[in-house]
Amino acid sequence: MSRTREIFEKVDRKLKERADEYRDVGALYKIVLGGADGGTWLIDFRPGSIGVREEEGEAECTIETKDEHFVNLFDGKLSPENALLTGKVKISGDMLLAMRFGELLKKSR
């Protein structure tokens, strides 16, 4: 299994185990990854549907990057700020949610 898929499975598990901690987020993120282990995932923080799904769909915040950059973000080897400033990550949609994503990612490690 690829590191990218491992990360999404881990995030899914953590979200479901600690759903009460994420209740206030109430948002849907779309992660679009390029590269060999790329794909599209929805990370759902909405009550009643919390979890991670590999599928297309609309979201309030979309984050696009390469699979290797996503892994480095998750592992803490690349800061969200640096990734954004160097063009390794592109964001569209709700910028407040985008700013919060880095914090949420750390919490789900």
- Per residue of the chain (109 residues), give pLDDT as tens: 799 999 999 999 999 999 988 888 899 999 999 999 999 999 999 988 999 999 999 999 999 999 999 999 999 899 888 999 999 999 999 999 988 887 777 777 7
| Cα within 13 Å of Cα(57), Cβ side | 14
At residue 58, the pLDDT reads 96
At residue 108, the pLDDT reads 73
The maximal CA–CA distance of the chain, rounded, in angstroms, is 36
Distance CA 73, CA 33 (A): 13
At residue 1, the pLDDT reads 72
The amino acid sitting at 101 is F
CATH 3.30.1050.10 fits 3-107, yes or no: yes
What would the two tokens of residue 100 be? 């919060």
| Alpha helices by DSSP H, the chain | 3-17, 19-22, 67-75, 80-85, 95-107
Q: Residue 52 pairs with which residues in a beta bridge?
A: 43
Domain assignments of the chain as residue spans, ordered by start = 3-107
At residue 91, the pLDDT reads 95
Contacts of 7 (CB under 8 A, 6+ apart): 70, 71, 74
Report which DSSP code applies to 78. S
